């Protein structure tokens, strides 16, 4: 055996052994219960980042561990290959997105392979492959047939200078990122998927997913946001009827119908027909409506912007009292939500309250406070105003509890044909149309006489031309005659293709199904999907907790309904891994924009007492600003290239550092010293095996002939074996598993001894060390297992069972507390009864000192652990 640990040689040898033996190719007919382990596939951005390394190491540790438990494991990998960054790269370099994407895939695949991941590469797929995205198109057409997909208008960010639709990411402070022009909202026709029809099912099924983190289930339930309420029609008053030349009603949705008699105005969105009609004859109002149309469509911006409004001069009638109520246009009412109109009850809703105060609208108290917190609502706002209570000032509905009042008022409205109870979801239908080139074409043909015609199945896939280069001025497909020109499938006349492509969330909503049968040419999926699904463990970033996971659940449910797959829920267990962070340093020169410096180029000194930090550039000692920790990102120049770590220390060191430094769900702070520490531990493991093996083959273990020191080591080894299995297999935490093996190695180092019994014990302890570490650092373990004298390669070995006899011990230590404070320790025979522990504790010298002759009021004994004496 070589004395020096040489990761480069070891890792290459291990990887070619695995490859030669096809060790990781998954086979549906192999024995063992299936285990489908999936990590979220990467966007091929160019290079792997540390978040990927963390994600895929977690998946690989689980995969390798489960193989050792006898499971038939599938761990696939692919590429989420469509998306905006490819278009941005094209604009910067003039390279077609297709070529940029495929080059990136080739490079990143090499990086993934060098990490030693036990992936079945025979199932690799990229979502930009026509043989993949044809099935997006195929299922979209099935959804059209079922009415799950439909077309209506939606609001987008519009750059008036570039004449193009902008992604939210391309809107910076309300302006286009390239032109700096003020962004406008614009309504355009788009395709939607009716996910709201599945809102209840998606919400209810969360209860059937105990393997999901509670926080993710809570976020999804809140996102879907079921609320019960009442649709209420406010008939138009005479002025409105006169303006529009017909009668009608303004419909609102409210969860607080009990406050209906407190309505003092109604508010509509700027795009609401009533607002537009009123603005036609009112220049000031038209200007305000225009103002509302400027700015971003993002909810976070809308929710934090100043609440503004303006009277339309129009009125509607209160549906029960008949009183006239003014109609306002307000920037906080959104056309996309509910009816685009709300009834306002300033006395019992905080937002209406602020608005009413600003525009001098009256308050009308209609709920009596159950806690007596107020009599009459008046400024300033207190939370009690918004609570449920008993109705007052509400005519015949006085004196009802809020819930009863909602029922009574809803019934009265229904009797007049002016209202109905209804369930409303916060969730909105999924708009999938993108006015972008690098995506899956929506398979629709626009015909002058037949309208929007679906592309027939036999003409699929609608291929995306791969030679176009976007330039920032809109979708190049719209200017490509070769793509646009086609015949109407219905009448045969000349027609135009739809140029919108699909949201990339569509691509990632079913790739996990395709991995089960990636070579299937005739169908979207086949019976192998029923074998592998559901995914037994899905691993990915917490940032995907809502959108991706909800869309994937929805899409799978639709495929289930169409009879394509047996499962309705795709992921039984979910691990949401935390982010990888690093320090951020920048400097803002007098001219120009902020410059970021990579942490490797900066010295950071933190004063322990003042907590002041000072950061200087290594090259010239000049000072830079320390911003603290943040996610590794290109824009902040604080990324660490995985290649540098693997080439310097090896993949095993990178993997060990990732797994040891933080629990998987928490954010992980990058540390060069931590990487050194991980490498040091691997060298220690290597040396421990080297020292042991150099002394010759160890004799067989005779458990009955061990000295106390041997029995101690054997106990630690078997405790470690149990702990590591529990940590990885049940708790899914890896940092404590590694810590346990480190303790075992420390114990081996202390053990010494050169008797036959000692050497046999050490052989077993080292074998357990290697077995426990092998899912985490597979290359070094592959080599060490052979050095320890095994012929069967490590990846074919099973996990070892704990020997219960090795764990037995004669006596245990029990701590003694007086009034909950630690005062002493006693040694007792293991299995000692409660009163034995009690007597021993009361006789302990340290305890007697604190008792000071007093009689204990109470003694609490926790078996095998602790005695607490209360005086």
Partner RNA sequence: GCCGGUGUGGCGAAACUGGUAGACGCAGCAGACUCAAAAUCUGCCAUGGGAAACCAUGUGUCGGUUCGACUCCGACCACCGGCACCA
First to last CA, the chain: 63
Min CB(576)–RNA separation in Å: 9
Judged by CB under 7 A, the residue of 69, 520, 671, 755 near RNA is 671
Judged by CB under 7 A, the residue of 300, 482, 521, 697 near RNA is 300
Minimum CB distance to RNA smaller for 434 or for 795: 434
Rounded to whole angstroms, the Cα distance separating 37 from 305 reads 44
Judged by CB under 7 A, the residue of 25, 172, 284, 298 near RNA is 298
Looking at residues 162 to 181 of the shown chain, list those that interact with RNA (rule: CB under 7 A). Answer: 165-169
- Residue 792's SS3 state is coil
Looking at residues 183 to 242 of the shown chain, list those that interact with RNA (rule: CB under 7 A). Answer: 190, 214-215, 218-219, 222-223
DSSP string computed for 659-695: HHHS-TTS-EE--HHHHHHHHHHHHHHHHHHHHHHHT
Beta carbons within 8 Å of 33's beta carbon, 6+ residues apart: 70, 71, 72
Min CB(8)–RNA separation in Å: 18
Min CB(356)–RNA separation in Å: 17
From the list 497-505, 529-537, 640-648, 761-769, the region that binds RNA by CB under 7 A is 497-505
Min CB(359)–RNA separation in Å: 20
Looking at residues 774 to 813 of the shown chain, list those that interact with RNA (rule: CB under 7 A). Answer: 813
Minimum CB distance to RNA smaller for 304 or for 754: 304
Minimum CB distance to RNA smaller for 300 or for 521: 300
From the list 69-77, 226-234, 646-654, 670-678, the region that binds RNA by CB under 7 A is 670-678
From the list 131-139, 270-278, 482-490, 673-681, the region that binds RNA by CB under 7 A is 673-681
Tell me the helices (H) and strands (E) count for the chain, helix number first.
28, 37
Judged by CB under 7 A, the residue of 674, 729, 793, 856 near RNA is 674
Judged by CB under 7 A, the residue of 311, 486, 815, 851 near RNA is 815
Looking at residues 605 to 624 of the shown chain, list those that interact with RNA (rule: CB under 7 A). Answer: 606, 608
Minimum CB distance to RNA smaller for 111 or for 168: 168
With binding defined as CB under 7 A, does residue 473 bind RNA? no
With binding defined as CB under 7 A, does residue 597 bind RNA? no
Rounded to whole angstroms, the Cα distance separating 833 from 593 reads 73
Q: Which residue has the tokens 């080599």?
A: 783
Total of residues contacting RNA (CB under 7 A): 100
Judged by CB under 7 A, the residue of 684, 715, 751, 800 near RNA is 684
Binding mask 329-358 for RNA (x = CB under 7 A): ------------------------------
Min CB(234)–RNA separation in Å: 25
Query: Per residue in 670-694, is it b (16+ CB within 10 Å) or e — as a string?
Result: beeebbeebbebbebbbebbbebbe
For residue 712, CA distances in Å to 387, 572, 709, 748, 761 come to 64, 40, 5, 10, 10
Q: Where are the beta strands (DSSP E) in 786-837?
A: 811-818, 821-829
Closest alpha carbon to 150 in 187, 188, 193, 197:
193
Minimum CB distance to RNA smaller for 459 or for 667: 667
From the list 264-272, 398-406, 478-486, 663-671, the region that binds RNA by CB under 7 A is 663-671
Judged by CB under 7 A, the residue of 455, 464, 721, 738 near RNA is 738
Judged by CB under 7 A, the residue of 668, 713, 728, 784 near RNA is 668
Closest alpha carbon to 196 in 156, 152, 234, 138:
152
Min CB(747)–RNA separation in Å: 9
Minimum CB distance to RNA smaller for 160 or for 663: 663
Minimum CB distance to RNA smaller for 418 or for 814: 814
With binding defined as CB under 7 A, does residue 667 bind RNA? yes
Q: What is the dihedral of CA 169, 173, 176, 182, to 10 degrees?
A: 140
Put residue 354 in one of left, alpha, beta given phi > 0 → left and psi -120 to 50 → alpha.
Answer: alpha
Contact predicate 217/192, CB 8 Å: no
Contact predicate 314/239, CB 8 Å: yes
With binding defined as CB under 7 A, does residue 4 bind RNA? no
With binding defined as CB under 7 A, does residue 373 bind RNA? no
Binding mask 545-584 for RNA (x = CB under 7 A): xxxx------------------------------x-----
- Residue 702's SS3 state is coil
Judged by CB under 7 A, the residue of 46, 85, 273, 729 near RNA is 85
φ/ψ of residue 569, rounded to 5: -115, 125
Minimum CB distance to RNA smaller for 455 or for 861: 861
Judged by CB under 7 A, the residue of 52, 123, 315, 823 near RNA is 823
Rounded to whole angstroms, the Cα distance separating 670 from 645 reads 12
Judged by CB under 7 A, the residue of 280, 523, 822, 843 near RNA is 822
> Can you give 224-282 as a three-state secondary structure string?
HCEEEEEEEEEEECHHHHHHHCCCCEEEEEECCHHHHHHCCEEEECCCCHHHHHHHCCC
With binding defined as CB under 7 A, does residue 312 bind RNA? no
Binding mask 123-162 for RNA (x = CB under 7 A): -------------------------------x-xx-----
Minimum CB distance to RNA smaller for 745 or for 757: 745
With binding defined as CB under 7 A, does residue 858 bind RNA? yes
Contact predicate 41/631, CB 8 Å: no
With binding defined as CB under 7 A, does residue 860 bind RNA? yes
Rounded to whole angstroms, the Cα distance separating 216 from 135 reads 29
Contact predicate 764/714, CB 8 Å: yes
Judged by CB under 7 A, the residue of 742, 786, 842, 848 near RNA is 742
Looking at residues 90 to 129 of the shown chain, list those that interact with RNA (rule: CB under 7 A). Answer: none
By CB atoms closer than 10 A (0-12, 13-18, 19+), residue 629 is middle
Closest alpha carbon to 88 in 48, 133, 43:
43
CA–centroid distance for 525 within its chain: 26
Looking at residues 30 to 69 of the shown chain, list those that interact with RNA (rule: CB under 7 A). Answer: 43
By CB atoms closer than 10 A (0-12, 13-18, 19+), residue 827 is exposed
Minimum CB distance to RNA smaller for 49 or for 67: 49
With binding defined as CB under 7 A, does residue 739 bind RNA? yes
Minimum CB distance to RNA smaller for 146 or for 863: 863
Quote helix, strand, coil % in the chain, to nearest 5.
Answer: 40, 20, 35
With binding defined as CB under 7 A, does residue 833 bind RNA? no
Min CB(225)–RNA separation in Å: 7
Rounded to whole angstroms, the Cα distance separating 159 from 730 reads 51
Put residue 94 in one of left, alpha, beta given phi > 0 → left and psi -120 to 50 → alpha.
Answer: left
Judged by CB under 7 A, the residue of 16, 122, 746, 830 near RNA is 746
Judged by CB under 7 A, the residue of 733, 786, 802, 851 near RNA is 733
Minimum CB distance to RNA smaller for 85 or for 174: 85
Min CB(295)–RNA separation in Å: 13
CA angle 507/510/514 to nearest 5° reads 105
DSSP string computed for 612-644: -EEEEETTT--EEEEEEEEE--TTTT----HHH
Judged by CB under 7 A, the residue of 463, 479, 634, 680 near RNA is 680
């Amino acid at each position: 055996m070589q004395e020096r640990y040489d990761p480069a040689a070891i890792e290459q040898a291990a990887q070619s052994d695995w490859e030669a033996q096809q060790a990781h190719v998954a086979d549906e007919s192999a024995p063992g219960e299936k285990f489908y382990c999936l990590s979220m596939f990467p966007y091929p951005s160019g290079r792997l980042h540390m978040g990927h390394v963390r994600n895929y190491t977690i998946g690989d540790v689980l995969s390798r561990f489960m193989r050792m438990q006898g499971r038939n494991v599938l761990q696939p990998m692919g590429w989420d290959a469509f998306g905006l960054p490819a278009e941005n790269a094209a604009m910067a370099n003039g390279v077609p997105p297709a070529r940029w994407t495929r080059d990136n895939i080739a490079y990143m695949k090499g990086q993934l392979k060098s990490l030693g991941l036990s992936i079945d590469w025979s199932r690799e797929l990229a979502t930009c492959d026509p043989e993949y995205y044809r099935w997006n198109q195929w299922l979209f057409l099935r959804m059209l047939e079922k009415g799950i997909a439909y077309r209506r208008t939606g609001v987008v960010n519009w750059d008036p200078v570039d004449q193009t639709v902008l992604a939210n990411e391309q809107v910076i402070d309300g302006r286009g990122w390239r032109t700096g022009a003020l962004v406008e909202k614009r309504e355009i026709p788009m395709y939607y998927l009716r996910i709201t029809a599945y809102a209840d099912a998606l919400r209810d099924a969360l209860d059937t997913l105990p393997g999901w983190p509670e926080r993710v289930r809570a976020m999804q339930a809140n996102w879907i946001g079921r609320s019960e309420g009442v649709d209420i029609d406010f008939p138009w008053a005479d002025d409105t009827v006169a303006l529009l030349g017909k009668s009608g009603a303004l419909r609102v949705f409210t969860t607080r119908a009990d406050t209906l008699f407190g309505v003092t105005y109604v508010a509509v969105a700027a795009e609401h027909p009533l607002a537009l009609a009123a603005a036609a004859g009112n220049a000031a109002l038209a200007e305000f409506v225009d103002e509302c149309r400027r700015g971003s469509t993002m909810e976070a911006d809308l929710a934090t912007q100043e609440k503004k409004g303006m009277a339309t001069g129009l009125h509607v009638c209160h549906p029960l009292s008949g009183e006239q109520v003014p109609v306002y246009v307000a920037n906080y009412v959104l056309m996309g939500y509910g009816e685009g109109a709300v009834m306002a009850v300033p006395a019992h809703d905080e937002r209406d309250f602020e608005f009413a105060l600003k525009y001098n609208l009256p308050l009308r108290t209609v709920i009596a406070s159950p806690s007596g917190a107020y009599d009459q609502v008046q400024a300033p706002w207190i939370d009690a105003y918004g609570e449920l209570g008993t109705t007052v000032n509400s005519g015949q509905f006085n004196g009802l509890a809020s819930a009863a009042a909602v029922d009574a008022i809803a019934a009265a409205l229904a009797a007049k044909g002016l209202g109905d109870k209804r369930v409303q979801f916060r969730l909105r239908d999924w708009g999938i149309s993108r006015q972008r080139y690098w995506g899956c074409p929506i398979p629709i043909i626009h015909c002058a006489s037949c309208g929007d015609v679906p592309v027939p199945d036999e003409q699929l896939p609608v291929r995306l031309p791969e030679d176009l280069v976007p330039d920032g001025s809109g979708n190049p497909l719209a200017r490509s005659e070769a793509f646009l020109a086609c015949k109407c499938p219905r009448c045969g006349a000349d027609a135009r293709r739809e140029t919108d492509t699909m949201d990339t969330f569509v691509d990632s909503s079913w790739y996990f199904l395709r991995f089960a049968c990636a070579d299937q040419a005739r169908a979207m999926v086949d019976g192998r999907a029923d074998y592998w699904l559901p995914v037994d463990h899905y691993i990915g970033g917490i940032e995907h907790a809502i959108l991706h996971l909800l869309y994937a659940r929805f899409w799978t449910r639709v495929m289930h309904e169409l009879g394509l797959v047996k499962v309705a829920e795709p992921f039984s267990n979910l691990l949401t891994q935390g982010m990888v962070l690093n320090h951020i340093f920048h400097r803002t020169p007098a001219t120009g924009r902020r410059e970021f410096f990579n942490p490797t180029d900066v010295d950071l000194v933190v004063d322990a007492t003042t907590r002041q930090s000072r950061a200087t550039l290594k090259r010239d000692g000049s000072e830079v600003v320390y911003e603290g920790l943040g996610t590794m990102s290109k824009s902040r120049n604080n990324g660490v290239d995985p290649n540098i770590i693997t080439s310097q220390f090896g993949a095993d060191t990178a993997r060990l550092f990732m797994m040891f430094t933080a629990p998987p769900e928490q954010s992980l702070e990058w540390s060069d010293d931590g990487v050194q520490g991980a490498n040091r531990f691997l060298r220690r493991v290597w040396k421990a095996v080297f020292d042991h093996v150099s002394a010759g083959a160890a004799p067989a273990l005779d458990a009955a002939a061990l000295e106390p020191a041997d029995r101690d080591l054997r106990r630690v080894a078997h405790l470690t074996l149990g702990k590591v299995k529990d940590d990885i297999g049940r708790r899914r935490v890896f940092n404590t598993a590694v810590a346990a093996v480190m303790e075992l190695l420390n114990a081996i180092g202390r053990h010494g001894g050169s008797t036959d019994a000692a050497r046999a014990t050490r052989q077993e302890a080292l074998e357990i060390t290697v077995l426990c570490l092998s899912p985490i650092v597979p290359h070094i373990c592959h080599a060490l297992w052979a050095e320890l004298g095994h012929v069967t390669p490590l990846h074919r070995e099973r996990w070892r069972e704990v020997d219960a006899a090795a764990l037995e011990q004669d006596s245990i230590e029990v701590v003694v507390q007086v009034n909950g404070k630690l005062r002493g320790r006693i040694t007792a025979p293991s299995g000692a009864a409660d009163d034995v522990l009690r007597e021993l504790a009361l006789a302990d010298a340290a305890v007697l000192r604190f008792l000071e002759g007093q009689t204990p009021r109470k003694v609490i004994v926790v078996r095998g652990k602790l005695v607490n004496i209360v005086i």
